[in-house]
Amino acid sequence: MRFLVAERDGVVVSVSGVQAAAALPGIVKLGQNKVPGDRVRLPPDSYFDARLAYAISCAADGDTAAHLADQAIGAMSYDIA
């Protein structure tokens, strides 16, 4: 499992790459914690609010599963203003 974490406070303006990330081999579940219009706050204001999305993968070994989840996270992009 991997999380996509915001790099700054703000409001989510747009999201891209979610369908492409979900279609990658080995991705069991892809979820969005934030959608356009949602506010994002970084620590210390909030410790979990910065999580934008997550990817859960399955593979024959842990290293491969981690790599697949990293690929899915890398395929998504959040614009925060």
Say if CB 9 and CB 40 are below 8 A apart.
Answer: yes
Q: What is the pLDDT of residue 7?
A: 94
Query: What are the pLDDT digits (tens) for 36-47?
Result: 999 999 989 888
Distance of alpha carbon 37 from alpha carbon 21, whole angstroms: 21
Strand partners, 32: 53
> pTM for the whole thing?
0.91
- Domain range enclosing 18: 2-80
Question: And the tokens for 19?
Answer: 């369908």
Q: What is the mean pLDDT of residues 9-14?
A: 97
Q: What is the pLDDT of residue 52?
A: 97
List, in sequence order, the alpha helices (H) in 1-81: 18-22, 62-75
Going by pLDDT thresholds of 50, 70 and 90, the confidence category of residue 19 is: very high
The mean pLDDT of the chain is: 96
Backbone φ and ψ of 23, nearest 5°: -85, -5
Q: What is the pLDDT of residue 12?
A: 98
CATH number of the domain that 34 lies in?
A: 3.90.1170
Number of domain units in the chain: 1
